[in-house]
Amino acid sequence: MKAISLVPGTTNVHVTDVDEPKIQKKSEVKIKIREVGICGTDREEASGGRADAPAGQKELIIGHEMFGEVAEVGSPDQGVKVGDPVVLMVRRPCGQCQPCKADCQDMCETGNYTERGIKGCNGYQAEYVVDDLKYLIKVPPTLKDLAVMTEPTTVVEKAIDHCCRLQTARLPVDPDPMKWLQGKTALVAGLGPIGLLAAMVLLLRGAKVIGIDRADPSALKPQILTALGGIFVQSTDNNKQNIEKVAPQVDLILDAAGVPTLDFEMLTTLGFNGILTLTGVPGKGHPLTVNGAPIFEQMVLKNQILFGSVNAGHQHFEQAVKDLEAARTKWPGQIERIITSRTNYTDFAKVLESRSKEEIKAVITW
């Protein structure tokens, strides 16, 4: 079968022929891949950045944002059948630490996890994959054209879920984490796919959402944000003042940009008892000089939290499917606009090695 493979540490990315995977256990399913999203991680890998081939192999099949349909089942009594639309999780447990033993590999403590298409395990840019049912999430047939965005949505589902759990644990509020955002003000920094999906989830939870980005107000990203009911603020030299004009108290900030200078600046806009979660991974850049004293003083005097979040658990995949369904109903035709291109796998280089000015989410089709 065909697959998109790379030699880790190089820019050698190519379509190759590999053996078609076979089911080995009753708990496994074979999936026909339909779509795989392209993200910054894929482009980092393709430019020679972080990527690890499976043990004993020289190449890595890339891709971790997938949607497919069941092609074969290891046993007919597993709750899935041929033709079912599905998505698969990304990370696999180390088998050593307590979180991984409890199926919480997104919180692995050893760093010895593997990730499909990223670290030590082949990914989803292939005609077929085989995996265990425990990593599979069924998707409603009505969500087929949006299902490829499930995995990036899980990133913000986890970050927002943990924000709400932390806040309900320490504040005198309703203990249900799903209710904490009602009436709160949330700021999303960066309006790429992660930022827009974060805005979607935050709005569904009842928050007032402000999105900040360098994009021109007439561009597609601000258009989508405002169509969902968010407020767009164009990033300038006066970000703090511009944000304070529309939100004197910011309760939650979600970083989806991965720009350290912006993160420190956004932190100064965070209100009392506020929480800031980092989901963007900064690229290597010039050293940054920061006056830490007033920042830490603010965090102490205002009871603030700053934490990072990566990957997602099974419950976040399930919630992502529910929220994508809810968003499609609430804002017909809007979430679909986040996918700005679909490209056949034979022409993968067109979107993997470059990106258009208006691109938000590029998708490879199989």
Whether residue 356 is found in the same domain as residue 299: no
Nearest CA to 252 out of 214, 307, 316, 317 is that of 307
Q: Decide if 210 is inside a domain.
A: yes
Domain co-membership, 181 together with 304:
yes
The Cα–Cα gap between 334 and 227 comes to: 7
* Contact by Cβ (8 Å): 204, 330: yes
Half-sphere exposure for 296 (CA within 13 Å, toward CB): 4
In a domain, 331, yes or no: no
**Rounded to whole angstroms, how far apart are CA atoms 149 and 155?**
11
β-sheet bridge partners, residue 132 = 28
Sign of the C-alpha dihedral, residues 136, 138, 141, 143? negative
Residue with tokens 């309006």: 191
Q: Does one domain contain both 120 and 210? A: no
DSSP string covering 181-208: TTT-EEEEE--SHHHHHHHHHHHHTT-E
CATH number at residue 110: 3.90.180.10
- Residues 178, 116 share a domain: no
Asked if residue 273 is part of any domain, the answer here is yes
Range of the domain at 299: 152-308
Q: What does the alpha-carbon distance between residue 27 and residue 78 come to, in Å, rounded to a whole number?
A: 7
Q: Would 304 be classed as within a structural domain? A: yes
Residue 228 has pLDDT above 80, yes or no: yes
**pLDDT at residue number 356:** 87
Residues 21 and 130 in one domain: yes
10 plus 86 within the same structural domain: yes
What is the domain count for the chain?
Answer: 2
Q: Evaluate whether residue 239 is within a structural domain.
A: yes
Check whether residue 304 and residue 171 sit in a common domain: yes
* Residue 67 and residue 103 in one domain: yes
13-17: strand order across its sheet = 13-17, 2-6, 60-61
Task: Locate the DSSP E strands across the chain.
Answer: 2-6, 13-17, 28-38, 60-61, 65-73, 85-88, 91-92, 114-116, 120-121, 128-132, 136-138, 185-189, 208-213, 231-234, 250-255, 270-278, 305-308, 339-344, 361-365
Give the pTM: 0.96
Q: 311 to each of 66, 99, 157, 282, 316, how far by Cα in Å?
A: 15, 13, 10, 16, 10
333-361 residue pLDDT tens: 999 999 999 999 999 999 999 888 889 99
Cα 262 from Cα 311, distance rounded (Å): 22
pLDDT of residue 299: 97
Instruction: Out of 119-123, 150-154, 189-193, 286-290, pick the least confident.
Output: 286-290
Structure tokens at 227: 């169509």
Assess if residue 321 is contained within a domain.
no
The pLDDT tens digits of the residues spanning 115-168 come to 999 999 999 999 999 999 999 999 999 999 999 999 999 999 999 999 999 999
Instruction: Please indicate, yes or no, whether residues 124 and 158 belong to a single structural domain of this protein.
Output: no
